[in-house]
């Protein structure tokens, strides 16, 4: 039930809108959200390099490559089950099939149309409290707020495009349920949660939190009503580890049972409560309950190492979650900026949200989403998106509440002045959000990694070269992108599978022994397939069961006998890997007993403040300066002598000089990027092959190259 509100506190009319008015509100907010996202296409249109074959480059996040790959496979007749991993791909394929629009365009534009659906539940929730106008303003602001926009802009086709809409829609139906007391609302809430479980592979913990807060609510307010426990039965169907068709059938049968049973016999609520308790006890014995919290527990209690058994005893390798930016906890200030734009806006939003919780007790059902946003300070920035809409509602309500309190209650101003002032403030919030978006589009966004017309052309050539069983060896950031662009998913590590196998790929890319790079690529590719056939999805698990770690040294020998293979193996090296040298190295440059990293061979990095020319004696970067005559760098940390300086522009060495230093490091300036490296890193395969074109032509054959990446084929 909704508590009575003192209307004098807020200068807006309190009445529910008609269906026609609600439809107009929702349509207006939906179209505005889409229009704002289309800014990116307008801005990107100025860069001809972002287009290929008449289409804009489609992938502006790596995840889009995964779902685009699945969609392309489905469109070509491959059958995938209707489970969370493949559902975004199924949705893409349906849109392509129904509209006739090509997959590249659908991949790029779909996020605008899907993510904008989030305006629907927030307006409907506000209307339940007779504040649809507040809901409209909240939808305007929330749909374009920093965190939500960052993960739903054009080209960002990921589960995030519906990850707020579906749980928020379920919460709307739960709010409607506790106020209208109609079982049909429990059915719709359950269907929303069921859809969420089908869409997002890590949804279980969020669904569980929503059901838990609903359970707490009914224990406090409706514990003696049979409807409360009937609705709980319906809601928990979404959590059952069953096929979607079975869950849907169970849900409908339960709804029909609870809907028609009272016509013949009326059970006291105690029987439903007892039945639920018995069901929970029974399920606890047959279900693996870790599936409901394991994923979020991984984000909260991040381990820096992975321990695996070997023939020589356990070893510890580096965990990926320890290095993934979106999984790193953020500061309170960063959280407030992502959720509400500024600290001030967030404080007002928090005041408004708490006030809404006090005045409308059913608002407690939105708590899981609000708490997820706060949890981002530990679990990572991606969780801020869940709180954006509810805090936007709090922001709008808070603005009117605070200004009414200051101007009307404490001052001598009229409610009209308060209302105008509040409206102006919200316009400022909206303008701030739009300005942030325009700047973010301009300075931060581009197609992910493969971002030029030439890249697309060369990837098409690679696609036509690859045979079905051919294999690509590259760093995991590039995996899903290459899946889509080459229509080949044969990678050792990718954006979803990148744990212990990072160790060996890091070794391959950063080895200063090119014999090892060749042999290890061939050896581990074949062992990967051999392991798959025996139930091992990760090659390091299979390798360590059958070989001692010392066998890695055998792979440095030219005369080693390698397993036979009929597949070609390609190595993809990308210039953006240079930005991640320290991270890539951290996965293999470690003490295998403790899991601790040794001292890094990557020292520093900077970008030239102006283009190099041969007359320069001193080169300045944003982090240090380089004296070419003395062979010395100067930085805030002090001066350092270097052993060698190499400058590469347009794939040609423009300057190279050795200096008489016994233990110095090396400077590589590659296309405007200056890298300070220890000799081992400088001599690594990645640096030598990509930046200096120095690779063993008896081992590797250049297939193609662009300004961004190089593809080498391993000779057998």
Query: Model confidence at 7, in pLDDT bands (50, 70, 90)?
Result: very low
In our burial notation (b when 16+ CB lie closer than 10 A, e otherwise), range 39-72 reads: bbbeebeeeeebebeeebbbbbbbbbbbbbbbbb
Looking from the CA of 2 toward its CB, the CA atoms found within 13 Å total 18
- Tell me how far apart the alpha carbons of residues 202 and 379 are, in angstroms, rounded to a whole number: 14
Structure token pair of residue 95:
């849109």
Query: Model confidence at 8, in pLDDT bands (50, 70, 90)?
Result: very low
- Look at residue 80 in the predicted model and tell me its pLDDT: 97
Minimum mean pLDDT among 266-280, 329-343, 627-641: which range? Answer: 266-280
List Cα–Cα distances, 393 to 127, 339, 363, 412, 559, in angstroms: 12, 12, 11, 27, 68
- Does residue 431 contact residue 672 with C-beta atoms inside 8 Å? no
Q: Tens digit of pLDDT for each residue in 646-680?
A: 999 999 999 999 999 888 899 999 999 999 999 99
* Kind and range of the H or E run holding 354: helix 343-359
- Tell me how far apart the alpha carbons of residues 310 and 503 are, in angstroms, rounded to a whole number: 14
- Does residue 316 contact residue 593 with C-beta atoms inside 8 Å? yes
According to DSSP, the β-strands at 618-620 and 602-607 are unpaired
- Look at residue 649 in the predicted model and tell me its pLDDT: 94
Q: Tens digit of pLDDT for each residue in 550-592?
A: 999 999 999 999 999 889 999 999 999 999 999 999 999 999 9
Q: What is the 3-state secondary structure (H, E, C) of 18-36?
A: CHHHHHHHHHHHHHHHHHH
In our burial notation (b when 16+ CB lie closer than 10 A, e otherwise), range 132-151 reads: bbbbbbbbbbbbbbbbbbbb
Secondary structure of residue 46 in the 3-state scheme: coil
Q: State residue 10 phi and psi, 5-degree precision.
A: -125, 125
Cβ neighbours of residue 105 closer than 8 Å, sequence gap 6 or more: 55, 56, 58
- Tell me how far apart the alpha carbons of residues 666 and 680 are, in angstroms, rounded to a whole number: 10
Q: Tens digit of pLDDT for each residue in 210-258?
A: 999 999 999 999 888 889 989 999 999 998 888 999 999 999 999 999 8
- Tell me how far apart the alpha carbons of residues 261 and 267 are, in angstroms, rounded to a whole number: 9
Question: How do the domains of the chain map onto residue ranges?
Answer: 326-439
Q: State residue 653 phi and psi, 5-degree precision.
A: -75, 115
The DSSP 8-state label assigned to residue 558 in this structure reads T
Burial label, 514 (beta-carbon count in 10 A; 0-12, 13-18, 19+): buried
Question: Percent of the chain, pLDDT > 70?
Answer: 95
Q: CB 704: neighbour CB atoms within 10 A?
A: 17
Query: Model confidence at 25, in pLDDT bands (50, 70, 90)?
Result: very high
Q: Tens digit of pLDDT for each residue in 377-399?
A: 988 888 999 999 999 999 999 99
According to DSSP, the β-strands at 665-670 and 638-649 are parallel
Secondary structure of residue 570 in the 3-state scheme: strand
Q: State residue 611 phi and psi, 5-degree precision.
A: -65, 140
Q: CB 13: neighbour CB atoms within 10 A?
A: 10
Q: Tens digit of pLDDT for each residue in 37-52?
A: 999 999 999 999 999 9
- Tell me how far apart the alpha carbons of residues 659 and 279 are, in angstroms, rounded to a whole number: 76
Q: Tens digit of pLDDT for each residue in 617-642?
A: 999 999 999 999 999 999 988 899 99
The chain-wide mean pLDDT, for the chain, equals 93
- Determine the Cα angle at 359 with ends 183 and 231, to 5°: 15
- Look at residue 293 in the predicted model and tell me its pLDDT: 66
In 331-483, beta strands by DSSP E = 471-473
* Helix, strand, coil shares, percent, the chain, to 5: 60, 10, 30
List Cα–Cα distances, 139 to 72, 103, 150, 385, in angstroms: 33, 29, 16, 14
Minimum mean pLDDT among 6-20, 46-60, 134-148, 241-255: which range? Answer: 6-20
- Look at residue 1 in the predicted model and tell me its pLDDT: 43
pTM, to two decimals: 0.93
Q: Tens digit of pLDDT for each residue in 69-120?
A: 999 999 999 999 999 999 999 999 999 999 999 999 999 999 999 999 999 9
The DSSP 8-state label assigned to residue 256 in this structure reads H
Structure token pair of residue 378:
């530990």
Question: Percent of the chain, pLDDT > 90?
Answer: 81
Tally of residues, the chain:
716
- Look at residue 300 in the predicted model and tell me its pLDDT: 66
Distance linking the first and last C-alpha atoms of the chain:
74
- Tell me how far apart the alpha carbons of residues 385 and 336 are, in angstroms, rounded to a whole number: 11
- Tell me how far apart the alpha carbons of residues 285 and 659 are, in angstroms, rounded to a whole number: 70
Q: CB 98: neighbour CB atoms within 10 A?
A: 8
Q: Looking at the predicted structure, is the pLDDT value of residue 324 above 90?
A: no
* Kind and range of the H or E run holding 186: helix 183-199
Q: Tens digit of pLDDT for each residue in 453-482?
A: 999 999 999 999 999 999 999 999 999 999
- Does residue 373 contact residue 383 with C-beta atoms inside 8 Å? yes
- Does residue 541 contact residue 531 with C-beta atoms inside 8 Å? yes
- Look at residue 297 in the predicted model and tell me its pLDDT: 66
The DSSP 8-state label assigned to residue 82 in this structure reads S
List Cα–Cα distances, 646 to 96, 599, 652, 673, 678, in angstroms: 49, 23, 10, 11, 13
Helices vs strands, H then E, count in the chain: 29, 16
Q: Tens digit of pLDDT for each residue in 106-119?
A: 999 999 999 999 99
């Amino acid at each position: 039930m909704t508590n009575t509100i003192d209307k004098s506190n807020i200068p807006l009319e309190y009445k529910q809108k008609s269906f026609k008015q609600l439809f107009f509100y929702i349509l207006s907010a939906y179209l505005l959200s889409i229009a704002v996202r289309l800014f990116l296409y307008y801005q990107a249109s100025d860069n001809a390099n972002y287009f290929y074959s008449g289409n804009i480059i489609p992938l502006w996040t790596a995840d889009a490559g995964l779902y685009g790959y699945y969609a392309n496979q489905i469109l070509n007749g491959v059958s995938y089950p209707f489970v969370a991993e493949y559902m975004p791909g199924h949705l893409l394929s349906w849109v392509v099939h129904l509209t006739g629009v090509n997959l590249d365009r659908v991949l790029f534009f779909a996020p605008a149309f899907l993510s904008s659906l989030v305006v629907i539940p927030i307006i409907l929730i506000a209307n339940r409290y007779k504040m649809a106008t507040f809901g409209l303003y909240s939808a305007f602001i929330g749909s374009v707020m920093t965190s939500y926009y960052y993960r739903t802009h054009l080209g960002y086709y990921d589960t995030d495009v519906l990850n707020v809409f579906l749980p928020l829609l379920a919460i709307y139906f739960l709010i409607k349920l506790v106020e209208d007391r109609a079982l049909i609302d429990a059915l719709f809430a359950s269907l929303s949660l069921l859809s969420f479980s089908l869409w997002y592979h890590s949804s279980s913990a969020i669904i569980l939190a929503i059901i838990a807060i609903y359970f707490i609510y009914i224990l406090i307010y409706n514990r003696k009503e049979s409807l409360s426990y009937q609705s709980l039965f319906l809601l928990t169907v979404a959590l059952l580890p069953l096929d979607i068709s079975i869950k849907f059938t169970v849900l409908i049968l339960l709804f029909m049972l609870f809907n028609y049973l009272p016509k013949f016999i009326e059970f006291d609520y105690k029987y439903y409560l007892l039945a639920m308790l018995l069901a929970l006890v029974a399920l606890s014995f047959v279900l693996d309950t870790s599936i409901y919290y394991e994923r979020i527990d991984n984000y909260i209690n991040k381990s820096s190492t992975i321990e695996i058994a070997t023939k020589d005893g356990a070893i510890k390798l580096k965990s990926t979650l320890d290095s993934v930016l979106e999984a790193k906890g953020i500061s309170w200030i960063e959280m407030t900026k992502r959720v509400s734009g500024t600290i001030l806006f967030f404080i007002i939003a928090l005041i408004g949200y708490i006030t809404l919780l006090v005045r409308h007790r059913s608002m407690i059902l939105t708590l899981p989403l609000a708490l997820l946003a706060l949890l981002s300070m530990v679990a990572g920035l991606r969780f801020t998106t869940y709180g954006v809409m509810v805090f936007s509602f709090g922001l709008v309500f808070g603005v009117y509440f605070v200004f009414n309190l200051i101007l009307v209650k404490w001052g001598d101003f009229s409610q009209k002045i308060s209302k105008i002032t509040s409206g102006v403030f919200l316009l400022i919030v909206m303008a701030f959000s739009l300005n942030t978006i325009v700047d973010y589009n301009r300075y931060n966004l581009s197609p992910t990694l493969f971002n030029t017309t030439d890249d697309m052309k060369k990837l098409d050539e690679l696609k036509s070269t690859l045979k079905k069983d051919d294999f690509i060896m590259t760093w995991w950031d590039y995996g899903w992108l290459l899946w889509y662009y080459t229509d080949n998913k044969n990678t050792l590590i990718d954006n979803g599978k990148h744990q212990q196998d990072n160790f060996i790929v890091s070794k391959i890319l950063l080895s200063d022994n090119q014999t090892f790079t060749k042999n290890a690529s061939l050896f581990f590719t074949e062992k990967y397939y051999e392991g798959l056939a025996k139930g091992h999805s990760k090659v390091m698990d299979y390798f360590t069961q059958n070989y001692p770690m010392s066998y890695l040294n055998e792979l440095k020998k030219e005369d080693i006998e390698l397993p036979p293979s009929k597949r070609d193996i390609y190595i993809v090296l990308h210039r953006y890997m240079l930005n991640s040298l320290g991270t890539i190295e951290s996965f293999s440059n470690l003490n295998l007993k403790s899991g601790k990293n040794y001292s890094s061979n990557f020292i520093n990095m900077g970008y030239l403040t102006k283009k190099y020319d041969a007359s320069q004696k001193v080169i300045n970067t944003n982090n240090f300066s380089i004296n070419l005559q003395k062979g010395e760098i100067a930085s805030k940390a002090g001066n350092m002598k270097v052993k060698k300086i190499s400058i590469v522009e347009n794939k040609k060495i423009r300057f190279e000089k050795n200096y008489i230093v016994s233990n110095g490091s090396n400077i590589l300036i590659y296309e405007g990027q200056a890298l300070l490296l220890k000799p081992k890193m400088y001599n690594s395969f990645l640096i030598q092959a990509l930046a200096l074109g120095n690779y063993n032509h008896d081992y590797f054959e250049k297939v193609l190259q662009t300004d961004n990446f190089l593809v080498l084929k391993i000779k057998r």
